Chains A and B, each alone.
Chain A
Amino acid sequence: MSFQRTQEKLKILADAAKYDVSCSSSGSKRANTNKGLGDATGMGICHSYTEDGRCVSLLKILLTNHCIFDCAYCVTRKSNDVKRAAFKVQEVVDLTINFYRRNYIEGLFLSSGIFKSADYTMERLVAVAKKLRLEENFNGYIHLKSIPGASDELMREAGLYADRLSVNIEIPTEAGLKKLAPDKKREDFIKPMVKVKNEIIQYNAEKKIIKSTPKFAPAGQSTQMIIGASGENDFQIMQTSNHFYKSYNLKRVYYSGYVPISYDDRLPQIGSAVPMLRENRLYQTDWLMRFYGFDVSEILNEQHQNLDLDVDPKLSWALRNLHEFPVDVNTADQRMLARIPGLGMKSVFKIINARRFRKLNWEHLKKIGVALNRAQYFMVCDSNQFEKRDLTSEKIKGLILQNSTSKYQKMLSNQLSLFG
């Protein structure tokens, strides 16, 4: 490995890969049974964090940033004037192994620009994973990109070596895709996703009968959408997200606030702010859907097409549904506890366990870690002190905002003045 050549390629191809936000390294079940290198059985580990506060868990690089497509939102698009480079298969293998041995990373996240054809590209991604598994005895985590349009055979092979596969739909609606990436078709994204989904279903069925069935993408598949590039509202975004979770059994949908990288007038201009607060609210909604028992239509619907920026989506839902409150924490079921603003799932489980021993009062709840500044308006406990005034939702919202400082305060006032 020539150090200087590799160094230059690494700089270019890591820089080009960084807009993919997926960093998860958990959920696989690949144990180190062959006295080889690595183990991907536990929870994911973030080995470091970049200065933008994002986790560094995998060596995230492109195999090449040569690309035959010209998607407006992408830094690697054909018409963009950037330095191009391509790794050899062996170079990626050496980097992964040596970074892993030093405990820098959990594994490899390999994506690529599309050169020549979808299959030609996918074949090379698979070659890297295959070499790592079969020649290097590597049991760390491998996340491969499914290249839109890749053949079923290649997708099947990819799943045998990778822990996770993902294909980024990037643009939440077909209309948006048509505008920003006219030479790409929605079906091309869906095809590999369907193949992987079906293979996983088949694997799970066969596994029940034959225990030694080779693993197939044990950490499942994920996708990513760019936020704020093509004018969709939050309702449309979360509808799409919900559809992908339900129809393709995705493990994760990632939301990536658009970072302006182009003077193309179809897109936000360079220098405009990354919609980080909006991105955060979308993730909160995603969590409410997946872990808190909410249906997406409770949070976003025809009447509420966008999430509030000044309060979190659960509080916003609660303020619209005051008739459901107050909830008695000593008797309520898990579903209703999870709906109280200021209560996370950890606190919910603690409450359910702790109330078996004695009735809980404000002091207990505070110590357990409940955010009472929000929760107090929505619950009663073993105390005769509780909110007795008949407050309107505007009044409650005002009181909560008055008594808390959002970490997004600065951003919030900027964004609001934009709309004001």
Chain B
Amino acid sequence: MKQISAFIKSVINSYSVLFFSQNRVLGLILMLVSFFNPASGFAGLGCVLFSQVICRLLKFYGDDLQTGIYSFNSLLLGIAFGAFYHVNLLFVLWLVVTCGMVIVASILLSQRLGKRGLPMLSLPFILVFWMVLLAANSIFAMGLQQKSSYLLEEIYNGPGHLAGVEGYFAVALPKYVSLFFRALSAVLFQHNIIVGMLMSLGLFIHSRIAFSLLVISFIGACLLNSVIYVYPEGISYYHLGANVMMVSVAMGSFFTIPSLRSYLLAVLCIPVVFIFINALTGFMSVHALPIFSLPFCMVNISLLYFLTLRKSTGKLQLTQVQHYSPERNLYQFLNQQNRLNDLKYLKLNLPFMGYWTVTQGYNGSITHKGDWSEALDFMIYDDEQKTYQYPGTQPENFYCFNKPVLACGDGVVELVVNHLEDNPIGKENLKENWGNTVVIKHAIGLYSKVSHLKKNSAKVKPGDIVKQGDLLALCGNSGRSPEPHLHFQLQATPYIGSKTLRYPFAWYFSRKGNKNSLQSYTIPAEGELVGNPEVNAGIKKAFDLQPGYTARLTQENGNTEEWEVFKDTLGQCGIYSKTTGAAAYYINNGVMFYFTSFYGDKKSMLYYFYLAAYKVIFNDAEELEVNDEFAVHLSQNKVLLLLQDLVAPFYKFISIGYQSSNLVQKNGLSINSKQFDKRNNKQLMDSTICIDHGSLQTISININGSHIKAQWSTEN
């Protein structure tokens, strides 16, 4: 049953992926309109089915099959066959044979180009159909009888003249509107306004951003032509649709994250495509071959390759994770910009226990200057803001003296200085500025250094492997240190005196008054009271979901849902709902658990869990609030979301906040979270997850006026 539904989905995807989509409505509309030319419709569908079956038999499984990547070129081939040739017995024979060729070409090209992260687009179709045309037009009889149609003429002759009054719409609609629809329908080798209208509807449903780019590029191309008169009689539908408009959609919204810059890029592509169309038409006409969407493929692939070669991504971002929806790509990108620091940085902790104060921060006024400006000094203060106990004349009177200094991250000890005397209070050793020091190598070009340590307190020696939190030495008063303090810095080389590096701590608690707040991937400022977060073992254990963990959720109405935790090929962990097929990816970094993305059924319990446990910190302090933001596409207000989609690349007005806090209960504790509209603070959702004895117990959620409650049961 599942396989059948997966097969049907992949067939529909083969249609929608023509417009870089996985939208089923769009897929069905495209399938429907392909039958406006029955021969094309049947040939196209036949080719898709044939390719899907062949790929399955040859075991070319995977996402590329499911998303229709392997079969959409076959679809184009079938449609083109139906558009070009009369149906007869040999038509079927050659269709089957060439479809096989397209499958081979698709797999070869997609694998080859995929290694560089490039798409093959419609190259397999173009190459194979050229072969068909060359073969059919050769002196040897193939038995294919070419149709004569308006479109074909146009395709062959390149820039042609716009004519043909067809039906009511052509009369009723302004010239350019009907041109738009015709151009769109030309992608499916048709020139039908109704087809174009249906396709527009489907594309609008699929993506407002992509649709707006279709319109913009259409207007842009017409305007450009009206100014420079490249095509005195107007642009052909086919090139307008299959090349100009498709390039704009692809470059402006699919392969890049939609933004003002991507829109500009899309517009800039128009004249480039003009050049390609004209040049290639001239070139290929020698062989009497139409260029089809070759300009689209060439412009797209070369520009994309060019963009990937940039040294830094800049503000024009390429789509890293493809969701087959410009909106979703954009919202997910914006949402994850600040949320995925765990994947960007090495996780570093503060190099001490308890709460210390930053007495000199980056670019400090005393010694953190010039090449050594990105360093931190730490000391311990008491409630009276003193750093020492009476009388304060000995290093031993200082709170931080003799306190453990820890490894901030995993690494190898590179260098240890351990022999320097601790200074009497008020004296400095300017000869050996850094005093007793331990340097650890964390990665190539990333070293951490702790200085002014106590004499003979080093517990490690060069070459030792240390783990985060291992004891390195004790805080002391050696080197340029008039009173005991801890100096910490990241640097690029293992040497003492190296230039410092700016690098954030993975997380720490910043304490103000008696209240902690979690800071993540930030650099503490001067005067901040900071400590490593304390981790509640119970919450940590409950969210320690290892691959293979399975759970059954039973709702109050008796519905159940089965979950399993998996790890994908990229090493990302996720929960898969076996019952609904939904999946939610998460990151558990040892201090908190947070979801990164959700795919699938928004009625599933997994979706509710995703909303409720969007970000959970493993700490039971009641006053600690975790704040985060949901991706915009999770908005429940669909009308508003539609409006947002239209302007999304330029302006974001929907903002959905998330807040959670943990509350100790009589038994175990609860994670209370809410979702709210950030503009007016209106609450959209509230939920409670109960944890006891280190495992998830229940979840209850109020959303959209309904209350859902479910209970966990696990076997492992």
- Is B truly associated with A? no
A-binding residues in B (CB < 8 A):
none
